[in-house]
Structure 1
């Protein structure tokens, strides 16, 4: 039976809602031979993917789905999959018709990390150019620490999908494999309505909620996409 847990985040007034994905499987029979992420026009139907509005998400046995929700607006702002000590965070955005935005976003994230005392290096990866980062964070007791993270981005038709691997998946290829397969089978449902570039695509919750859980340690704000569009074209 599916369940949710709710986790309060005091730093950015958002909360995390979790769902058991053990009964959702990768839709290998439905996807084209080349790996994704895919546009909705690339697949014949949703198959076993979980419908989260702008994202159709494949699952993996033992994985948990966490929905990031703004407390004030109740808007779902992101999705995260937790599996075997690693996490993959996903966000989908509108993008211009004529050009991708990942190169620009990647540079902005790197500058944000470096301005906060972290390190960021651009490296080649499965999905093109990636950003390997060391993020300065504070533990529960207030002591400083370094958290590794791996940022990947895919420019699709009028959309952009960002993934952030943390935990062991940020620096161990073997640990990242299952989450990479999930990322490669995500389907983005952009919709036909005009949207400014970097506008967050609408995500929806898959079920009911359960009581709140304690907050997790704070992490830096590394989401330049939320600063609003810097390109005037409407996609």
Structure 2
């Protein structure tokens, strides 16, 4: 099942990884200049190291012979298909920039960005996410998890009854060749990380299609709808099959939906 929703200001915690950059049309020369000017060391002293090896994924398009086999083609991403999953896309302006896989009572949002040729940006991005959440009164733990270094966050949210609460979220990320893939795990997979094995495998088995065109570092890699997706008109409600995640981040709120039967 595909769901499509507009991005809202309430989701800014999870969007901190993208910063305030706007999508721009650059030339090859401009891209080289942007990459040469990339920050090599963050204010706290964290060095942007070259991307680490990815023996278990996520994969670059050049590393997979049949990317569409067992995966949903979203243009900039090939997302693994799993029985019983629901797949929703997120829109920024006129562009689709993220996909969320909902599986029972957990979810992982996938979003890919352009990155410098010789530097990984995940270390710097973690600092930005952590800073944004702590400034809002949240709590951040940086730990080494199954996918490498990640952030486990307690994000302040307002519950449906108006009282305050916290939402547990995991931010995971991997640097690839000229791209960066970020995942945001919510629901039970964030509350009990040991229960998120299937979501982590979906993240690992995702294929990123960066393309050969020039892009400024941190520009989002735009996605597209699958050719066989069907739009469900706004306002048409379907029977809930998974848990609802309440709170400011609003990642799994229902909107107009595009459905695919698996």
TM-score (norm 2): 0.70
- Shift in Å, 1:205: 1.2
Paired residues, what number? 199
Larger mean CA deviation between 40-49 and 188-197 belongs to: 40-49
TM-superposed CA distance for 1:11, in Å, is 4.8
In the TM superposition, structure 1's runs of 4+ consecutive aligned residues that sit over 4 Å from their partners are 3-13, 213-218
1:137 equivalenced with 2:157 (yes/no): yes
Q: Counterpart of 1:212?
A: 234
In 1: Cα distance, 2:204 partner to 2:146 partner: 10
Mapping 1:7-22, distance limit 5 Å: 7=5, 11=9
Please give the root-mean-square deviation of Cα atoms over the aligned residues, in Å.
2.5
CA deviations over 1:108-146 (Å, ceiling 9, x no partner): 000000000000111001221110100001122322110
1:108 is paired with a residue whose SS is: helix
* Counterparts of 1:62 and 1:198, CA distance in 2: 32
Partner of 1:25: none
Q: Which has the higher contact order (CA 8 A, sep 6+)?
A: 2
Are 2:72 and 1:43 aligned?
no
Which of these residues, 208, 213, 238, is aligned with residue 193 of structure 1? 213
Matched residue, 1:123: 143
Note closer, same or farther for the CA distance 1:105–1:208 as it changes in structure 2 (3 Å cut).
Answer: same
Greater strand proportion: 1
Partner of 1:27: none
* 8 A Cα contact 1:6 1:210, kept in partner: no
* 1:146-161 equivalence runs, <5 A: 146-161=166-181
Q: Give 2:86's aligned residue.
A: 64
Hey, what's the Cα distance between the residues in 1 that align with 2:154 and 2:126?
A: 14
TM-score computed with the length of structure 1 as normaliser: 0.77
Shift of 1:216: 7.2
User: Measured at CA, do residues 62 and 188 of structure 1 come closer, stay the same or move farther in structure 2, by a change above 3 Å?
Assistant: same
Tell me if structure 1 keeps the 8 A contact 2:5–2:90.
no
Aligned counterpart in structure 2 of residue 182 of structure 1, from 188, 202, 208? 202
Partners of 1:108 and 1:67 in 2: CA distance? 24
